[in-house]
A and B are shown apart, each in its own frame.
Chain A
Amino acid sequence: MKEQTPVTRAEHTSVTPTDDKPTDEPAAAHVRLDAPSSTLRPVDGAPDGVIELRDLEVFYGDFRAVKDVTMGFGSKEITALIGPSGCGKSTVLRCLNRMNDLVPGARVQGRVAYHGVDIYEPEVDVIEVRRRIGMVFQKPNPFPKSIFDNVAYGPRVTGMKTDNMDEVVERALRGAALWDEVKDKLKQNAFGLSGGQQQRLCIARAIATSPEVILMDEPCSALDPIATAKIEDLMVELAATYTIIIVTHNMQQAARVSQRTGFFTAEADDMGHRTGRLVEFATTEHIFGNPTDSRTEAYITGRFG
């Protein structure tokens, strides 16, 4: 069992490479856990760390996809993960509810603590983890079942004790702002819905198991601007109840909905291996207003990636 020290985190965490490869950063700038900048303003309801990552490192076979990820996700906050393609955002996100278990050869090192419990400990029940930490995918993936059965699926398979499934389904669909559009066709196949409706159905499906955290991997990338706006509004609404972690390529979206943003990038080392890492993690305001790291600035201003 690894040591149980909680992740120390201040308002601003800048993680720069710890190995001795040349960067454009001063050599002394190793891991800094204190806010170096007076321009930072504390956010109301600073994260109390529903999920905390410490030195997370993920391998796919021999390939190290990400390393050195240390960050925390605040309760009832929206945290956005941004960065260029292939930098490991999805990889990190999948670690949070152990979806990486399904990838043959995937290996996770470091600590992923959910309320202080390392979810990769052998005695942890992955089903319990996934029930509490739900996930919405990039492409809407409703099951080929009725709308009702889609929403009822999670409660059914996890053996949730429910007196009245109708109520559970209605509450979830209302929560996902879909109820009014589908209340008359709950028995119809979910494939008949539009893409945006399908994605909200997937959100309803996720919240039907009453999770605490919802992970979203580019949930709007297959949607048109109107459907995207609806999902964004919904995310903001959901953040009153749930902790949300979203991966997005849409910078405006990250800026609009999130309170905190982590910027990842992957840089090739001497051997040509590209390993993703967390470059900067701070309030969204800080990341988009006055980023500390030059790479963050280059990325958000569109000069990179």
Chain B
Amino acid sequence: MTTRHRTTGGLSETGGHPAAWQGPEIDLTPQRSRVGEKIIRAGLMGSALLSVVVTAGIVLSLLTPLISFFSNVGVGEFLFGTEWTAAFGDKFTWDDKSWGVLPLVVATFMVTAIALVVAVPLGLGAAIYLSEYASERARKVLKPVLELLAGIPTVVYGFLALTIITPILGAFFEFNSIYTALSPGIVMGFMIVPTIASLSEDAMSAVPLALRQGSYALGANRMKTTLRVVFPAALSGIVAAIVLGISRAVGETMIVTIAAGSKAHLTFDPREGAQTMTGFIAQIASGDAPQGSPVYYSLFAVGALLFVITLVINMISIRLVRKYRQAY
């Protein structure tokens, strides 16, 4: 063991233990007030709290009209009834209408499912291409273009569905009106492709290069490397991307309002028109729904259900993301 000697202060080692400090005294108490830090901290906490408060506010504002609605309509009737005639009959009577929300729910999920059938393969294909195959130059051009697609107003997509896609599909399918679930579903799929592609691409690009190299060094080609190493490693982000796509599809309003029609009826046939939950809300909220009328209250019931569904989807998403998360 070497012993170091210093002329001023310093440690002198004796028997392996440093001797007591003999140099000048030092002061470790705060030298400056930390007001700035406290303000920043408070500000950040405020923003975190605000989002909680807003969520709580939404729940509360739904609550009163909800109570009015469910004092007239049974929860079971609402959730499991297969007929929805809220907009029919006398505006101020409850009894002449059917309040089964299932037709709206089924239509919502049918359109969402059609959208996913389009968006998941296209979105993941685009993501795989951008992340694994495209040259740096191609990626630099394509990714912003793709993200631009996400910025197109949904009303444009709605008209695209009604005026272009529906007639084209009409050449192949027998439609009995200009309103169908198929056409807005497909267009909605195109609408969420950028969401799924962009987020999945981020997740795949974040997979360390070392994993790809390890795979190539074992004789895997690009496709196998992508499908067996990169894709599973990015699964958490890809799942999150798809779930976000689902949330957007479930909540999408304009496209279905324009192209799916306003006929609420229980059907599993995508060739028929079918009103979704959002479609119903848009129709009633933009039409004449006198405050205090049954159909006015039903808006809140459908809105609350939509809220719960989105919440559940997001909770499932968080679960899945945790389950598949990899720490590299």
Contacts and interface: CB of A to CB of B under 8 A. Distances in A.
Interface of A: 97, 99, 102, 104, 127-128, 130-131, 134-135, 137, 139, 141-145, 153-154, 157-158, 191, 202, 205-206, 209
Nearest to B218: A154
A278 B63 CA distance: 79
Interface in B294-328: 326-328
Contact of B220 (A97, A137, A157, A202): A157
Given A153-B228, A157-B224, A99 B213 contact: yes
Contact of A130 (B211, B219, B327): B219
Contacts of B216: 99, 102, 130
Given A141-B213, A143-B211, A153-B228, A209 B327 contact: no
Interface in B193-214: 208, 210-214
A214 to B, nearest CB: 10
B150 to A, nearest CB: 29
Interface residues of B, number: 22
Nearest to B212: A102
Given A144-B326, A191-B326, A99 B215 contact: no
B232 interface: yes
Contacts of A102: 212-213, 216
A137 B213 contact: yes
Nearest to B221: A127
Given A157-B215, A209-B218, 6 more contacts: A99-B217, A104-B136, A139-B210, A154-B220, A157-B220, A157-B228
27 contacts: A102-B212, A102-B216, A128-B219, A130-B216, A134-B217, A135-B217, A137-B214, A137-B217, A142-B214, A143-B215, A144-B233, A144-B326, A145-B232, A153-B228, A154-B218, A157-B215, A157-B218, A157-B219, A157-B220, A157-B221, A157-B228, A158-B218, A191-B327, A206-B217, A206-B218, A209-B218, A209-B219
A137 B221 CA distance: 18
A131 B210 contact: no
A153 B215 contact: yes
Contacts of A97: 217
Given A141-B210, A141-B211, A153-B228, A205 B327 contact: no
Interface of B: 136, 208, 210-221, 224, 228-229, 232-233, 326-328
A198 to B, nearest CB: 11
Contacts of B208: 141
Contacts of A127: 219-221
A130 B218 contact: yes
A205 B213 CA distance: 13
Nearest to A131: B219
Nearest to B209: A102
Contacts of A142: 214
Contacts of A154: 218-220
B134 to A, nearest CB: 12
A137 B210 contact: yes
B217 to A, nearest CB: 4
Nearest to B216: A102
A107 to B, nearest CB: 17
Contacts of B211: 141, 143-144
A268 to B, nearest CB: 29
Contacts of A205: 214, 218
B232 A153 contact: no
B214 A202 contact: yes
B219 A143 contact: no
Given A104-B136, A191-B326, A158 B220 contact: yes
A129 B211 CA distance: 19
B207 to A, nearest CB: 9
Contacts of B327: 191
Nearest to B214: A141
A157 B212 CA distance: 13
Contacts of B219: 127-128, 130-131, 154, 157-158, 209
A156 B76 CA distance: 53
Contacts of B328: 144
Contacts of A145: 232
Nearest to A97: B217
A96 B328 CA distance: 28
Contacts of B215: 143, 153, 157
Nearest to A132: B219
Contacts of B210: 137, 139, 141
Contacts of A158: 218-220
Most buried by B among A97, A127, A139: A127
A127 B220 CA distance: 7
A98 to B, nearest CB: 9
B221 A130 contact: no
B213 to A, nearest CB: 7
A221 B88 CA distance: 76
Contacts of B213: 99, 102, 137, 141
Given A104-B136, A141-B211, A130 B232 contact: no
**3 tightest Cβ-Cβ pairs between the two chains A and B:** A154-B218, A135-B217, A131-B219
A64 B327 CA distance: 37
B326 A130 contact: no
Given A99-B213, A102-B213, A104-B136, A144 B232 contact: yes
Most buried by A among B208, B215, B219: B219
A168 to B, nearest CB: 13
A280 to B, nearest CB: 28
Given A153-B218, A157-B215, A143 B224 contact: no
A209 B216 CA distance: 13
A144 B219 CA distance: 18
